[in-house]
Structure 1
C-alpha cells in the first residue's frame, strides 16, 4: 500500500481555470483534509484523484501506479483505481438492500466467489455497526444509517485509498460529531490513505493528520491541525480558520508595532504592511505587565453565547477589536481595559 503524489495538477472548465498547478504528496496511511470554502477547488482535486474528472494537466500516482499523466495522455478509469469514495448524497442504490449495496463494488470487479463477497461485505457492515440492518433497504434506514452503508461500501471498494467528499454535511450536528469519529476510527482500523473534503474547520481539526487549506484553486497553507490553528501564514488562512482580529501594521521599529490604533511590543518580525492576527479569546480583561499590548476600549456591542460573551470593542484610530470572555467574568461588570499577549499573536506577511 502506498501514498498519493499529485504533481502540477490543473483543471479548466470551458475557459475558467479552477485548479492551478497543484503539487501535493500524501504519505502512506496519512489522513489529510482539503479545507476551504465552496469553489476553492477541493472537490475538483478529489474527483481528479478518483478518476471522475480528467485533469487538463498534471500527473497523479497512487502507490506505484500512475493513474493520470496528461503529457502521455494516460488515464486509468475510476473502477480500475481501487479507490473507495463516500459522497455527500450517500449515493446508495434504493432498490438494493444494505448488504447488496456493499457487495456491489466486489461484484462489479468480479472479485472473489459469491461466498467471499458476502464475507467481505459482512465484515464491512460489522465495522460500521450495521450488521443487524443488512437486509434493510435505504428507505428503511435513517440518514446516519445510510451514511454508514455508504462508508461500508467505500471500505470494500478501497484497495489503497479512501476519498470522502463532504460525507457528513447532510447530517445533524450531534450525528456529525459521532460520524466524524467513526470515519477516523475506520481509517485507523483499515490503514487506508485518506483524503477528506470539507468546509467545516472543526471537523478538519478533529480528524486530520494534516490539513491543506485551498483558495481559488491553489494551496494556501499545509500543516498539522495545531500548526493551522495556531500559526496561520496568510491573512486568508487566519480569517478562514477563525482569527477574528486581523490588524494591518502601520508602523514598526525595534520590535514595536502599531496596528489598528494599538501599540504592540515584542514583535521583532513585524513590518509595515504586515498584519497582526489574534483570536477573540486572546483578548483578556485588565492589564498585564508582560502583555504585548494593553489598551482601553469601550464596549460597543455584546453578544451572549451561554458560557461566553463576545464583546465588540471600539479602539480609537482603529477598526475595533473583538474579545471573548467568560460570562461569569462579564457578570462582574463590563471591563474597559484589555490586554493581548505576544504568544497569542500571529504576524502575517501575506
Structure 2
C-alpha cells in the first residue's frame, strides 16, 4: 500500500470516530431537560389531581356518615312504640301525641321529653359555634319490649317479656312506658327474672326509688299519683277481665336523648360535628364549617327557622339539614350538602 493510500485510510478512520460537537451536546441536554420537566409536570399534576379527588372523597364520606347518623335520630324524634288512639275524624298528622307523665327528678337537659325535638339558631345552644344551628331530639323506639301485666304489691311492679334485647336494660336506665292512651317516663329498677313452670321466662321491673318523684305510672295531678294498670292482652288467658283502660300491647323502650351541634374540634383546629347523649359526647366528623337547620310546619309554604317555629314544635313534620364541609391542604375544598328528613311519628 502506498503512503498516500495509508494516509487516506487514516483520515477516514478518524472522521468516522469523531464525537459530538458542543452544539450537538447542548441540544441533547436541552431536549433531555425538556423531557424530564414534562415528566415532572405530569407527575405534579397527577399528584394534585389525586389529592383533590382524595379530599373530595373524604368530604363525601364524612357527609354520608354524618347524614346517616343524624337522619336516623331525626326520623325517630318524638317517637314511641305506641301510636296515640285517634278518632277517625282526626288527622293523625296533626296529633299532639300521647299524654305523658314525667317522673324524672333530674334537671339535666336529657330528662325533659318536652315536645320531642327542639331547635337552636345561631349558636344559641351552649357549646356550639356562633352562627351554627343545633337540635335536641327525644325518642323511645329502639330495643322495645312487650309488657304483659302489672301488680300493686306495695309499689307498682310490671312484667316484661324475655327476649335477647332484654339484655340492653339495666337498673338506673330512663325508659318510656306506653300503651296507646298515655306514656310515662321514669327510671327503671330491674328485678330478677322469674320462671313459671315450663312457660316463658319474664323480667319484673318497677320504678326505682332514686331518680323518680314517685311510683304511680298514670297521668295524675301530682307526680303520677293516679293509679293506672298497664296490660298486654296477648299473654292473658281468655276471660281475664280488663283492668284499667284494658289497652292491649303495652310497650317499654329505653328513652334516648340526643343533641347534634357544631363545636370546636378535639384536635384543636377547626370545627367538628358532635353527637351528645346523656352518657357521652362524641365527635362524629371534623372539617365542618357550618350546620343550618330549618323546619317544615303544616300549611307553611317553605321551611322556617327555629325562631319562626316558636311554640309549634309538636307540629314539625320534617327537618332540612344543610351541612357545609371543607377538606384538603392549601386552598381547602368546600362542599355544601342539603338533605331533608321526615319525622315518622308525625307523617301518615
With normalisation by structure 1, the TM-score equals 0.20
With normalisation by structure 2, the TM-score equals 0.20
Of the two structures, which has the highest relative contact order with CA contacts closer than 8 Å and spacing of 6 or more?
2
- Please state which structure has a larger fraction of its residues in helix: 1
Which structure would you say has the larger Rg?
Answer: 2
